Structure 1
Amino acid sequence: MDNDEFQPVSTGSFYGKRYKTLSAAVDDIASSSSHNDADIVVIPPDVDVQTDEDEIDEDNCATSYLPNDVPGEIEVHYDDDEDILPLTELQKKLVCRPSKRAKTANTKEVEPKWTENILDLKMTESYGYIDRLNNLKIEMIDKTSVQSLFDTEIFEYIIEQTHLYAAQKNNHTFSLPVEDLKIFIGILLFSGYHKIPRERLYWSLDEDVSVPIVSNAMSRNRFQEIKKFLHFSDNTKLDKTDKMYKLRSLMQRLNKNFQKWGIFHQNLSIDEAMVKYFGHHSSKQFIRGKPVRFGYKDWMLCSSSGYCYKFDTYCGAKPMKDTDTHDRSKSSLSLGSLVVLDLLECVSQPSDHVLFFDNFFTSYHLMQTLRERGYRATGSVRENRTKKCPLPSVNAMKKDERGVFNYICDETSSVLFVRWKDNNVVTMATNYDTIEPLSKVKRWSSAKKEKIDVPQPQLFSKYNASMGGVDLLDQAVNNYRINIQGKKWWWPLFTHMLNVSVVNAWRIQNLSCEKNTDLLTFVRSIARHYLRCFEKIQYIEKAFWIRSN
Structure 2
Amino acid sequence: MSDSDDFSDGSDSELETEIESDDEEEMVFMNQQPWVRALPPEPEDQEPSNFTENVGPKNMPPSDSKPISYFFLMVTVDLINRMVLETNRYAAQFIASKDHIRRFSRLLDWRKIGEVTFNEMKAFIAVILNMGLIRKANIGEYWHTTYKSQETSWFRSVFSRNRFQQILQFFHLVNNDDIPNRNDPNYCPAAKFQVLVDHFNTQSSHHLVPEQNISIDESLIATRGRCTMLQYIPSKSAKFGVKLWMLVEAASGYIYNMRVYRVKRFDPTPRGTTQGSYVINMLLESSRLLNKWYHVVCDSFFTSIDLAKQLLRDHTYITGTLKQNRYMPNKIKNPQLGQNDSIYMRQGELCLCSYKEKEHRKPVRILTTKEKAVTNIRGKPKVLEFYNKNMGGVDLADLMVTSYSSNRKSMKVWRKIVFNLIHRMDHLSDKEDAAANTAAGRGFVKVKLRKLPSGKQKECSVCSDRNGFGGRRRTRTICTDCHRGLHKDCVMDHLCVAED
Instruction: Establish whether TM, by shorter chain, passes 0.5.
Output: yes
Contact 2:61 2:70 in 1 (8 A): no
Deviation at 1:283, TM superposition (A): 0.9
Deviation at 1:415, TM superposition (A): 1.9
The corresponding residue for 1:103 is: none
Q: Which amino acid aligns with 1:150?
A: V
Deviation at 1:469, TM superposition (A): 0.7
Structure 2 counterpart SS, 1:268: strand
Contact 2:213 2:294 in 1 (8 A): yes
Q: Which amino acid aligns with 1:227?
A: L
Higher relative contact order (CA 8 A, sep 6+): 1
- In 1, the alpha carbon distance for the partners of 2:398 and 2:434 equals 18
Q: Which amino acid aligns with 1:256?
A: T
- Per-residue displacement from partner, 1:185-207 (whole Å, max 9, x unpaired)? 11111112211112110011112
- In 1, the alpha carbon distance for the partners of 2:379 and 2:345 equals 18
CA distance 1:141–1:390, shift in 2 (3 Å): farther
Contact 1:124 1:351 in 2 (8 A): no
The corresponding residue for 1:18 is: none
Q: Which amino acid aligns with 2:142?
A: Y
Structure 1 counterpart SS, 2:246: strand
RMSD: 2.9
- Per-residue displacement from partner, 1:320-350 (whole Å, max 9, x unpaired)? 89xx97xxxxx53200111111111213464
Match of 2:164 among 215, 218, 223: 223
- In 2, the alpha carbon distance for the partners of 1:243 and 1:281 equals 8
CA distance 1:462–1:137, shift in 2 (3 Å): farther
Match of 2:367 among 429, 434, 452: 429
- In 2, the alpha carbon distance for the partners of 1:290 and 1:133 equals 31
Structure 1 counterpart SS, 2:217: strand
Match of 1:488 among 401, 406, 412: 412
Q: Which amino acid aligns with 1:410?
A: Q
- In 1, the alpha carbon distance for the partners of 2:288 and 2:279 equals 14
> Within 5 Å, which residues of 2 pair with 1:308-327?
308-317=255-264
Contact 2:293 2:317 in 1 (8 A): no
Contact 1:439 1:461 in 2 (8 A): no
CA distance 1:392–1:271, shift in 2 (3 Å): closer
Q: Which amino acid aligns with 2:368?
A: T
Match of 1:280 among 226, 230, 246: 226
CA distance 1:486–1:319, shift in 2 (3 Å): closer
- In 1, the alpha carbon distance for the partners of 2:210 and 2:59 equals 8
5+ unaligned residues in a row in structure 2: which ranges? 1-29, 97-109, 181-185, 445-461, 463-500
CA distance 1:251–1:493, shift in 2 (3 Å): same
Q: Which amino acid aligns with 1:479?
A: S
| Structure 2 residue 235 is the aligned partner of structure 1 residue 295 | no
Give the greater-gyration-radius structure (CA). Answer: 2
> Within 5 Å, which residues of 2 pair with 1:382-397?
382-385=323-326, 387-394=327-334, 397=336
Structure 2 counterpart SS, 1:233: coil
- In 1, the alpha carbon distance for the partners of 2:355 and 2:208 equals 36
Q: TM-score, normalised by structure 1?
A: 0.64
Deviation at 1:484, TM superposition (A): 4.5
- Per-residue displacement from partner, 1:198-217 (whole Å, max 9, x unpaired)? 21100111123221100111
| Structure 2 residue 78 is the aligned partner of structure 1 residue 150 | no
Q: Which amino acid aligns with 2:149?
A: D
Deviation at 1:258, TM superposition (A): 0.6
| Structure 2 residue 339 is the aligned partner of structure 1 residue 402 | yes
Deviation at 1:120, TM superposition (A): 8.9
Which contiguous aligned blocks of 4+ residues in structure 1 show a shift greater than 6 angstroms?
Answer: 118-124, 318-321
Percentage of identical aligned residues = 22
- Per-residue displacement from partner, 1:20-74 (whole Å, max 9, x unpaired)? xxxxxxxxxxxxxxxxxxxxxxxxxxxxxxxxxxxxxxxxxxxxxxxxxxxxxxx
Contact 1:270 1:300 in 2 (8 A): yes
- In 1, the alpha carbon distance for the partners of 2:194 and 2:298 equals 25
Q: TM-score, normalised by structure 2?
A: 0.70
The corresponding residue for 1:133 is: 56
- In 2, the alpha carbon distance for the partners of 1:137 and 1:489 equals 34
Structure 2 counterpart SS, 1:116: strand
- In 2, the alpha carbon distance for the partners of 1:179 and 1:485 equals 27
Contact 1:124 1:374 in 2 (8 A): no
- Per-residue displacement from partner, 1:411-463 (whole Å, max 9, x unpaired)? 4xx32211111244111011222122x224xxxxxxxxxxxxx3112211111
Contact 1:125 1:351 in 2 (8 A): no
Deviation at 1:128, TM superposition (A): 4.1
| Structure 2 residue 368 is the aligned partner of structure 1 residue 471 | no
> Within 5 Å, which residues of 2 pair with 1:429-468?
429-436=367-374, 438-440=375-377, 454-468=378-392
Contact 1:481 1:499 in 2 (8 A): no
5+ unaligned residues in a row in structure 1: which ranges? 1-108, 326-330, 441-453, 519-549
Structure 2 counterpart SS, 1:406: strand
| Structure 2 residue 213 is the aligned partner of structure 1 residue 271 | no
Structure 2 counterpart SS, 1:391: helix
- In 2, the alpha carbon distance for the partners of 1:289 and 1:254 equals 26
Match of 1:368 among 302, 309, 325: 309
* More displaced 10-residue stretch of structure 1: 486-495 or 118-127: 118-127
Q: Which amino acid aligns with 1:148?
A: L
The corresponding residue for 1:32 is: none
